[in-house]
Structure 1
Amino acid sequence: MNARAAIKGILLALLAGSAPCHPALAETEISSFAFVHEDGSLTVDGHLIHLYGIYVPPTDHTCTTFIRPMPCGTRASLALEFRIGGDFVHCMERARNADGSITASCTAGGEDLSEWMLQRGWAVALPDAPFQYAAMEKIARAKGIGVWGIALDAPTRPR
């Protein structure tokens, strides 16, 4: 064995010894129907989940009166509940919080719920969120929708 091969073997042994002893944490998937809370968090399969990368600011409390029983909540939480509808929610755990809740990336009907909330102006991107989340927030703010104002379609008259 030449000196170069011996040094390479020693370096590999040192690198292997410096690797963490615990196995890599596997991402945990949580899937079920979801209950939407007024703060925009979800209960999915008994777990309290906060959507990854966003903060849902408090908005006016309102009730949808044309549905019985009347669902009430903040405008943002009602929008999220409307988006989820009866879809199954799939969440990939990203972090466990000190209070026992989970921060997760969640989808419903194949659509990322954090992105959906940002695109409609119902959420604010957190500082550590992906770049595209901040861009989506800025677009919604420029359009004046969601928490940034309510966009109304102008009525059209038939000619």
Structure 2
Amino acid sequence: MRFRSVIGAASLCAGMALTVSASGETAVAVHPVKGVLILDETAYRLDGASLPHPDALCKANSGTWRCGETAWTALQNHVMSGRGDCRPLVSLSASTSTTDSLPAECTLNGASLNTWLVRYGWALADDSPAAPFQEEEMQAQQEALGIWRDGFMPPSEWRAAASSECNVCSARHESIVRSKEKRQQASGSQNAD
């Protein structure tokens, strides 16, 4: 898919969807207020990367600035520069309607869009010990890139909390724990005989 802008950056300011047309039939819609990208009528949320709300203001050493709008504009400009695709990550509880969004790893010219957003300071890594992109966020912060410029410190409510939904990793972990417990119980009952 080749991205190019159809609606200008003014739509970001108005909180409307920005539609980006891909070469051929597929259109990509960037919905800043919903925090999703829509490809082929499927809404995707960038897994592990949380952009600020488009109306968010950031406080920095030099004052307040429109960091949310700026971050979403950076995403819009970046997706216009190449060929993209989104690969949904398996969710055991997610719906595929456009009102819900699937967690996804999206790529642009073969490189992770999720990683790019965090590495260049336009998104925060999710707030969990095992969240991806922690190192990229630290690099962006150290280099004062994107929203990290000029002493920015994010409010805690901006950072996405670890999802309580059952996902593949937690389901697999629970399965491993149950299997281990069963083996321990079985070996304990055999030793008692």
Give me the TM-score of the superposition, normalised by structure 2.
Answer: 0.49
> 1:34, 1:44 within 8 Å by CA — same for their partners in 2?
yes
The CA deviation at 1:100 is: 2.9
The CA deviation at 1:49 is: 0.7
Which residue in 1 is equivalent to 2:131?
Answer: 129
Deviation string, structure 1 residues 72-100 (Cα, Å, up to 9, x no partner): x8111111111110634211111443663
Quote the Cα distance in structure 2 between the aligned partners of 1:77 and 1:141. Answer: 18
The CA deviation at 1:149 is: 1.7
Quote the Cα distance in structure 2 between the aligned partners of 1:116 and 1:32. Answer: 23
Quote the Cα distance in structure 1 between the aligned partners of 2:116 and 2:28. Answer: 16
Gaps of 5+ in 2: 1-24, 57-67, 151-193
Which residue in 2 is equivalent to 1:24?
Answer: none
- Number of aligned residues: 109
Which residue in 1 is equivalent to 2:103?
Answer: 103
Which residue in 2 is equivalent to 1:144?
Answer: 144
Deviation string, structure 1 residues 3-51 (Cα, Å, up to 9, x no partner): xxxxxxxxxxxxxxxxxxxxxxxxxxxx944221215420111111101
Which residue in 2 is equivalent to 1:36?
Answer: 30
Quote the Cα distance in structure 2 between the aligned partners of 1:38 and 1:82. Answer: 13
Quote the Cα distance in structure 2 between the aligned partners of 1:35 and 1:83. Answer: 14
RMSD, aligned α-carbons: 2.8
> 1:59, 1:147 within 8 Å by CA — same for their partners in 2?
no
Identity of aligned residues (%): 29
Quote the Cα distance in structure 2 between the aligned partners of 1:103 and 1:32. Answer: 20
Which residue in 1 is equivalent to 2:71?
Answer: 76
Quote the Cα distance in structure 2 between the aligned partners of 1:32 and 1:142. Answer: 38
Quote the Cα distance in structure 1 between the aligned partners of 2:46 and 2:77. Answer: 16
State yes or no: 1:119 paired with 2:114.
Answer: no
Give me the TM-score of the superposition, normalised by structure 1.
Answer: 0.58
Q: Larger Cα Rg: Structure 1 or Structure 2?
A: 1
Quote the Cα distance in structure 1 between the aligned partners of 2:54 and 2:138. Answer: 18
